[in-house]
């Protein structure tokens, strides 16, 4: 996990920097890991409520399957926030929680030439790479409180996991160890 000090990026929108950093990690093919930022200056004791905002609010063009995925993501997020004692509200929440799925298609081509006189064959494979990004901002001043992202390749490969999205969200939330109304992190939430 990486922590970025706020003072290094005071002149740039930190959320944009972290998205680009994560996207570069995805493209470089590094092992799956959680990249996170935590604003140590935030007043965590004042946070008790939240509201989920999605990147597709009001967008009716998603497929049934796409909507089901978003509902599963939101259900897992609600579970993690509830585990920390936060209450969801639409009226003046302390925190705005936003999530986003970033996807990229990557193509690899290899040329096989078995002998000098044979016709070379080209094998092409296409990969879908995706990442899940979650951030918490203060509603009143829009300052970033916490942000975490994860490479979904590890969670979407064939595995014994029944719900890879839920597992990925649980892994992301291990980097947010604050209970509602608490000014100190709770180490039991990092497990």
Confidence at 161, pLDDT banded by 50, 70, 90: low
The answer to whether position 179 is within a domain reads yes
The answer to whether position 1 is within a domain reads no
Query: Which is more confident, 181 or 4?
Result: 181
Q: What is the CATH number of the domain that holds 168?
A: 3.30.160.670
Helices 64-83 and 164-173: angle between axes, nearest 10 degrees: 40
90, pLDDT greater than 60: yes
Q: Which residues, 6+ apart, have CB-to-CB distance to 74 below 8 Å?
A: 52, 54, 99
Tell me: the pLDDT tens digits for 19-58?
Answer: 555 554 544 444 458 889 999 999 999 999 999 997 654 5
The answer to whether position 51 is within a domain reads yes
Query: Which is more confident, 105 or 173?
Result: 173
The answer to whether position 23 is within a domain reads yes
Q: What percent of the chain has pLDDT over 90?
A: 43
Confidence at 6, pLDDT banded by 50, 70, 90: very low
> CA dist 147 to 11, 63, 67, 106, 141, Å?
18, 28, 23, 25, 16
Average pLDDT for residues 130-135, to the nearest whole number? 89
The answer to whether position 26 is within a domain reads yes
For residue 144, what pLDDT is reported?
A: 95
**pLDDT mean across residues, the chain:** 79
The answer to whether position 111 is within a domain reads yes
Indicate the number of domains in the chain. Answer: 1
DSSP designation for 44: G
Average pLDDT for residues 104-119, to the nearest whole number? 76
Domain of 52, in residue numbers: 6-190
The answer to whether position 186 is within a domain reads yes
189, pLDDT greater than 50: yes
The answer to whether position 135 is within a domain reads yes
Cα gap 85→48, rounded to integer Å: 8
């Amino acid at each position: 996990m990486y922590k970025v000090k706020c003072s290094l990026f005071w002149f740039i929108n930190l959320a944009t920097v972290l998205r680009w950093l994560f996207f570069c990690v995805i493209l470089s093919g590094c092992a799956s890991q959680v990249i996170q930022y935590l604003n140590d200056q935030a007043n965590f004791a004042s946070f008790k409520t939240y509201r989920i905002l999605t990147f597709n609010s009001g967008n009716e063009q998603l497929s049934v399957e796409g909507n089901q995925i978003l509902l599963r993501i939101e259900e897992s997020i609600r579970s993690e926030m509830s585990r920390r004692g936060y209450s969801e509200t639409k009226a003046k929440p302390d925190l705005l929680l936003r999530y986003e799925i970033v996807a990229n298609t990557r193509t690899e081509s290899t040329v096989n030439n078995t002998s000098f006189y044979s016709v070379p064959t080209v094998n092409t494979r296409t990969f879908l790479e995706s990442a899940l990004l979650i951030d918490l901002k203060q509603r009143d001043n829009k300052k970033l409180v916490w942000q975490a992202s994860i490479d979904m390749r590890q969670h979407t490969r064939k595995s014994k996991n029944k719900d890879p999205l839920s597992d990925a969200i649980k892994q992301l939330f291990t980097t947010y160890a604050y209970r509602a109304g608490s000014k100190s992190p709770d180490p039991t939430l990092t497990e």
